[in-house]
Amino acid sequence: MVDRLTEYDEVPRGRVSFLRKTNQYVIYLDRCILRPAIVNRISTILRLPRDRVIVMTDGHYRCPTCLNRKGSRRP
């Protein structure tokens, strides 16, 4: 649980998009939370068909831990 004083970019996050051309869902996640258990939970809660899910990272979703890694820069 995150408290109200925590900024949105201080925690790992992501989003889910739907690609109409390919009829697939894309789950974009911060590398810190890109784990099968998290992906499965998101897919289950949103009732996404597992055979149409792609999982990717995205430069917009990087927590301070990832941003502070040596050589990591904001896009």
Can you tell me the distance from the alpha carbon of 57 to that of 10, in angstroms, rounded to the nearest whole number?
Answer: 17
Residue pointed to by tokens 């790992």:
12
Residue 38: the pLDDT is 93
Q: How would you label 25-45 residue by residue, b for 16+ Cβ within 10 Å and e otherwise? A: bbbbbbbbbbeeebbeebbee
Give the C-alpha distances (Å, rounded to integers) separating 29 from 5, 47, 59, 73.
22, 17, 9, 17
Provide mean pLDDT across the span 28-50. Answer: 93
Can you tell me the distance from the alpha carbon of 61 to that of 63, in angstroms, rounded to the nearest whole number?
Answer: 7
Local confidence band at 1 (pLDDT 50, 70, 90 cut-offs): low
Q: What percent of the chain has pLDDT over 90?
A: 48
Local confidence band at 11 (pLDDT 50, 70, 90 cut-offs): confident
